A and B are shown apart, each in its own frame.
Chain A
Amino acid sequence: MNWELLQNYGPRMLSGLIVTLQLVVISISLGALLAVPIALGRMSKNRVIGGLSFAYVYAMRGTPLLAQLFLVYYGAGQFRAELQSIGLWWLFRDAFFCCVFTFTLNTAAYQAEILRGAILSVPRGQSEAAMSLGLTPRSVFRMVVAPQALLLALRPLGNEIILMIKGSSVAAIVTVFDLMGVTRLAYSRSFDFQVYLWAAVLYLALVEIIRRVWDMLERRLTRHVRQH
């Protein structure tokens, strides 16, 4: 253990951890909002809407997050004049914003598929029974299908958060000082390999905490449907 190194870079690594958390929390939340219309689009009977949402999800899940991030971060520079004319350049100039933008679009596609899967797994009898009670299709979805689907979606959504924590480390490659970014900086200055191990411990701790908290949340929210 190199205490001097820890003194120099420990606090910065913690602030990097905060940046990582910000990236994940913002992207996951915005992605969740975006995922709802995409999931509904995937299930739409309209072929154009269905096709477009399918293409979006397929493209987002079929390409690496790193390639998407480079497309946004470096690609935006090419449209500087256009972005300036609509007053958005100050956003795309910022690496942190580009990361949030890319991660949001990416996680929205994954979350949409999770939601769609969950909605389709709610037994048909549920919506049929609700309809026979005279509920309108809107109410059937809002009051009967959606609450059950969200419970089914809990576990895969927890996995998606963990994947986002891990995936967010690519932000370091485009100069964002998240946990990974600070770690790379510390390594490039100290050439002491242990900074990578500290980062590993921090990431593992973060992922384990999220996993446990999510397990507890799931157990609590599904306590009324458990058989035993």
Chain B
Amino acid sequence: MDLIDLISFGPGGWGNALAAGTWLTIRLAVATLPFGLVLGLAIAQSKRSNSRLLRAFGNLYTTVFRGLPELLTIFIVYFGGQILLQKLVNLVAPGQTVAISGFVSGMVALGVVFSAYASEVFLGAFNGIGRGQWEASKALGLRPFPTLRLVILPQLIRLALPGLANLWLILLKDTSLVSVIALDDLMRMTGIAVRVTKQPFFFFGVACLIYLAMSMISSIGITAIERRAERGHRRAA
């Protein structure tokens, strides 16, 4: 059989399966991003807080989730989340069983790892914004929250963008690990194709090329976003 036929979309071709896997990989990465960003910002805030307890929590969180292998975090969230949820359900309705979906476990695990790294990026960005910005806002009578939303965040995004872009590319690659918790992502669909066709080198090569294509497209998108974030800055300079 011709190799090109193997990745065609027709009958006998694995094009549809690979496309479905790619689609799940993209959905997982896109779903993880906002979750990871919000959590990362929250962790960054807790590390900047005046409360000693919150600071310690933020630092511990970062140390733990940057130190654990992503694969282990996925297992812990997948199996541990299941146990925890089951215990909670048993409190409310004894005898009922719940199953946590692989997608949600994958999203939570990858999001937690993303947020640990993102919090450091945000922390660096916060440090890059001068005190004067806060003081000027205060002088104009803005309360802390509007200051954060209207003055600090728009500048924060520009400063954090290069670091976050890097994390996005890492996230895209880390999604391949969810194939171990039986999620039909690109890696797992490729594995199924390999088992049937006995063409491992070809199919894993194709999977690598698809990941590479996703990274390239992301890079183009990132450049466009960076240009947009810099637009106010260039004019002022």
**A60, B204: Cα distance in complex, Å:** 14
**A65, B200: Cα distance in complex, Å:** 16
In the complex with contacts A67-B204, A67-B207, A70-B204, A59-B212 CB distance below 8 A: yes
- A68 surroundings in chain B (CB, below 8 A): 208
Q: Which residue of B lies closest to A171 (CB)?
A: B71
Q: Which residue of A lies closest to B175 (CB)?
A: A64
Say if the beta carbon of B216 comes within 8 Å of chain A: yes
B208 to A67, Cβ gap below 8 A?
yes
A70 to B80, Cβ gap below 8 A?
no
**A168, B80: Cα distance in complex, Å:** 22
Interface string of A164-176 (1 = CB under 8 A from B): 0111111011000
- Given B83, B180, B187, which contacts A64 in the complex, CB threshold below 8 Å? B187
Say if the beta carbon of B215 comes within 8 Å of chain A: yes
- B61 surroundings in chain A (CB, below 8 A): none
In the complex with contacts A75-B201, A75-B205, A200-B68 CB distance below 8 A: yes
Say if the beta carbon of B63 comes within 8 Å of chain A: yes
Q: Restricting to B12-64, which residues have a CB under 8 Å from any CB of A?
A: 63-64
**A204, B66: Cα distance in complex, Å:** 9
A172 to B208, Cβ gap below 8 A?
no
- B72 surroundings in chain A (CB, below 8 A): 169, 180, 183, 196, 199-200, 203
Please give the residue numbers on chain B whose beta carbons come within 8 Å of chain A beta carbons, in ascending order: 63-64, 67-72, 75-76, 79-80, 83, 169, 173-177, 179-180, 187, 190-191, 194, 198-201, 204-205, 207-208, 211-212, 215-216
Which 7 pairs across A and B sit closest by C-beta, in order of nearness? A75-B201, A74-B200, A64-B176, A169-B69, A62-B215, A71-B204, A207-B67
